[in-house]
C-alpha cells in the first residue's frame, strides 16, 4: 500500500531554502513570534555551510566596515545597507549567543575557535526548534523540491515535489533563499531560474564566481592548459607570496598580493578570486593576459643584480635558487612560460620573474564555483527585498544579483540579506493584519 500524499498546508510564512540566508530569515521571524515553515529539497539543512566549514568555517572578516563594504563592487551600496542592520560584529555576537566563541586569524578572517561549522549549525537548529519565550518554533519540511508558484484563480500556492507525491503550500508571506547554481550536489542547482523567469521575475544570467580560470597555451605547451610535465609535478600546489597584476579591469590596472593554486587546468585560489569578477568580465569570450610577480618583495633592479652575479659552473636553476630562493613551482613556471633562449637572456628573465605573462581564456564550469554571480535583479526589489511585482514574496542570499570574493564576505552578506528579508516579511504580515 503506497504512502498517503502529503496534505496541503496553509502557513503564515514559508521560507523556501534551508541555507544560511533562509535559516537567518526564519530566526528573525521565529524570534518575533511568527509561525515559520522551512522547506528544502535536501534531506538535511545547511549542507553547503557544512562543506564550506570543512577546512575551517570563515564566518566573516574583521576589517573596517567601509573596506568590507567595498568588496561588493557595484553592489556595495545595496549590500552596505544590509550590513548596517547585520554587521560582521553582529555575527560574532550572534555566534556567542549560540555558545560559539570566535577568533580573528592572522589574515583578519573570523573563525569559530574549533574551526568547525557543525557545532554552530547544531546549536542554531536547536534554538530554531526551541526558541526563547515569546518565540515560535520553526517547522522543517525536508525533501521538498519547490516547483514554483501555481496560480489557480484565487487559490495561488507554492508547488512542491516530495517523496510522497506533490504538495501545495499557501503562505501569507514567502522568503525565497534557494541559492545560486554552484555545488549542485548540495542543492544549489539553479533550477529555480526557469520558474522564476516564467513568473516574470527580472533576472541577470547566473555566472561562475570565485572559481578558477583555464590557461591558454604557453611556450612549453602549444595547446590549452599547462604542459603535462607541469601538471604531473605541480598541479594542486600553492603558489605563495606572489602578486597578480590584471590590466584593463574596469578601465584600470589592478594588482593584488596573496596566494593561489596551480591546477590541472590553470589557476585558482583566494588571490584569483579577489580579482575574479573583473577577469571574468574582461574575458568576454576571448583571452586575457594577466601577469605574475614571482618576487613581489624584490625590486627589478635588485633581481637583475642577482641574476647577473657570476654563477660559475652552476646551472641557471641552481643559481636562481641560491641567489633569489626561486625554485620549485616558481622555477617551473619560468620554464613553462619562457623558451630556453629567453631564459638565458638576463633582461628577459628578470622581466618574466617580475611580470610573468599568463594567458587566461575562460572560467571553469559553474558547478565548480564556490558561488555564483547574477540572479534576481536588485532593482526589481524594495529595500526590504520584497518583489515589487509580487507583493509578499521576499528574496535572500545567493539568489540575488551580487557577488564578493571569499574571506567571509559571502557568508556575511547571505546572513545579512536573510535578516533584511525576514524583517521585511514580519512587517508585511503585521501591516496586513
Q: Which three cell numbers stand for residue 197?
A: 523567469
In this model, does residue 85 exceed pLDDT 80? yes
Check residue 421 and give its pLDDT.
98
**Integer distance in angstroms from the first to the last C-alpha of the chain?**
43
In our burial notation (b when 16+ CB lie closer than 10 A, e otherwise), range 183-202 reads beebbbbbbbbeebeeeebb
Angle between helix 409-432 and 76-83 (nearest 10): 70
Contact between residue 412 and residue 88 where contact means Cβ atoms under 8 Å apart? yes
Q: How do residues 9-40 score in pLDDT, each as one tens digit?
A: 999 999 999 999 999 999 999 999 999 999 99
In this model, does residue 222 exceed pLDDT 70? no
How far is residue 410's CA from residue 414's CA, in Å, rounded to a whole number?
6
Q: What domains can you pick out in the chain, each with its CATH number?
A: 9-208+371-432 (3.50.50.60), 213-363 (no CATH)
- Quick one: DSSP state of residue 59? -
In this model, does residue 265 exceed pLDDT 60? yes
Check residue 154 and give its pLDDT.
57
How far is residue 177's CA from residue 185's CA, in Å, rounded to a whole number?
17
- Section 43-59 average pLDDT: 90
- Section 175-190 average pLDDT: 91
- Section 165-171 average pLDDT: 95
Q: How do residues 121-130 score in pLDDT, each as one tens digit?
A: 999 999 999 9
Give the ranges where 181-299 is alpha helix by DSSP (H): 192-198, 228-234, 270-283
In this model, does residue 219 exceed pLDDT 70? no
Q: What is the dihedral of CA 13, 17, 23, 24, to 10 degrees?
A: -80
In this model, does residue 270 exceed pLDDT 60? yes
Check residue 340 and give its pLDDT.
87
In this model, does residue 413 exceed pLDDT 90? yes
In this model, does residue 2 exceed pLDDT 50? no
372 to 100, 179, 189, 244, 375: CA distances (angstroms): 29, 9, 11, 22, 8
In this model, does residue 252 exceed pLDDT 70? no
Check residue 14 and give its pLDDT.
98
Check residue 429 and give its pLDDT.
95
Across the chain, mean pLDDT equals 92
pLDDT band, very low/low/confident/very high, at 136 (cuts 50, 70, 90):
very high
Q: How do residues 280-332 score in pLDDT, each as one tens digit?
A: 988 877 889 999 999 999 999 999 999 999 988 899 999 999 999 998 999 99
In this model, does residue 269 exceed pLDDT 70? yes
Smallest CA-to-CA distance from 425 within 155, 20, 32 is with 32
Secondary structure class of 222 (helix, strand, coil): coil
Left if phi > 0, otherwise alpha if psi is -120 to 50, otherwise beta: which for 210? left
| Cα 142 from chain centroid (whole Å) | 24
Smallest CA-to-CA distance from 145 within 188, 203, 197 is with 188
In this model, does residue 409 exceed pLDDT 90? yes
pLDDT band, very low/low/confident/very high, at 223 (cuts 50, 70, 90):
low
Q: How do residues 323-376 score in pLDDT, each as one tens digit?
A: 999 989 999 999 998 888 998 999 999 999 999 999 999 999 999 999 999 999
Check residue 187 and give its pLDDT.
85
pTM: 0.91
Amino acid at each position: 500500500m503506497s504512502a498517503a500524499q502529503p496534505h496541503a498546508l496553509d502557513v503564515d510564512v514559508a521560507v523556501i531554502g534551508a541555507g544560511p540566508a533562509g535559516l537567518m530569515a526564519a530566526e528573525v521571524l521565529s524570534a518575533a513570534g511568527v509561525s515559520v515553515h522551512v522547506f528544502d529539497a535536501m534531506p538535511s539543512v545547511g549542507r553547503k555551510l557544512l562543506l564550506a566549514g570543512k577546512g575551517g568555517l570563515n564566518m566573516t572578516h574583521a576589517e573596517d566596515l567601509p573596506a568590507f563594504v567595498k568588496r561588493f563592487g557595484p553592489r556595495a551600496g545595496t549590500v552596505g545597507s544590509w550590513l548596517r542592520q547585520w554587521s560582521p560584529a553582529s555575527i560574532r555576537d550572534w555566534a556567542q549567543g549560540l555558545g560559539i566563541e570566535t577568533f580573528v586569524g592572522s589574515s583578519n578572517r573570523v573563525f569559530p575557535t574549533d574551526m568547525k561549522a557543525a557545532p554552530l549549525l547544531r546549536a542554531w537548529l536547536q534554538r530554531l526548534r526551541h526558541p526563547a519565550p515569546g518565540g515560535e518554533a520553526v517547522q522543517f519540511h525536508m525533501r521538498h523540491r519547490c516547483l514554483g508558484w501555481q496560480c489557480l484563480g484565487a487559490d495561488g500556492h507554492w508547488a512542491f515535489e516530495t517523496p510522497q507525491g506533490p504538495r501545495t503550500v499557501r503562505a501569507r508571506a514567502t522568503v525565497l533563499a534557494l541559492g545560486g547554481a554552484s555545488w549542485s550536489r548540495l542543492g544549489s542547482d539553479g533550477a529555480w531560474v526557469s520558474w522564476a523567469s516564467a513568473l516574470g521575475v527580472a533576472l541577470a544570467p547566473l555566472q561562475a564566481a570565485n572559481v578558477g580560470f583555464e590557461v591558454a597555451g604557453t611556450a612549453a605547451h602549444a595547446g590549452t592548459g599547462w604542459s603535462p610535465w607541469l601538471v604531473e609535478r605541480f598541479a594542486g600546489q600553492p603558489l605563495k607570496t606572489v602578486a597578480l597584476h590584471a590590466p584593463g579591469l574596469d578601465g584600470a590596472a589592478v594588482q593584488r598580493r596573496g596566494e593561489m593554486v596551480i591546477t590541472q587546468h590553470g589557476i585558482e585560489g583566494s588571490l584569483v578570486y579577489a580579482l575574479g569578477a573583473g577577469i571574468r568580465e574582461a574575458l568576454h569570450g576571448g583571452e586575457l593576459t594577466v601577469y605574475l610577480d614571482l618576487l613581489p618583495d624584490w625590486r627589478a633592479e635588485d633581481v637583475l643584480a642577482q641574476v647577473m652575479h657570476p654563477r660559475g659552473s652552476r646551472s641557471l636553476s641552481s643559481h636562481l635558487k641560491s641567489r633569489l630562493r626561486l625554485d620549485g613551482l616558481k622555477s617551473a613556471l619560468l620554464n613553462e612560460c619562457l623558451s630556453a633562449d629567453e631564459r638565458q637572456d638576463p633582461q628577459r628573465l628578470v622581466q618574466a620573474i617580475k611580470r610573468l605573462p599568463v594567458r587566461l581564456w575562460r572560467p571553469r564550469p559553474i558547478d565548480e564555483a564556490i558561488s555564483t554571480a547574477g540572479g534576481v535583479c536588485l532593482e526589481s526589489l524594495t529595500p526590504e527585498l520584497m518583489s515589487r511585482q509580487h507583493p509578499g514574496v521576499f528574496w535572500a542570499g545567493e539568489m540575488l544579483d551580487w557577488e564578493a570574493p571569499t574571506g567571509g564576505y559571502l557568508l556575511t552578506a547571505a546572513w545579512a540579506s536573510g535578516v533584511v528579508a525576514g524583517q521585511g516579511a514580519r512587517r508585511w504580515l503585521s501591516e496586513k493584519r
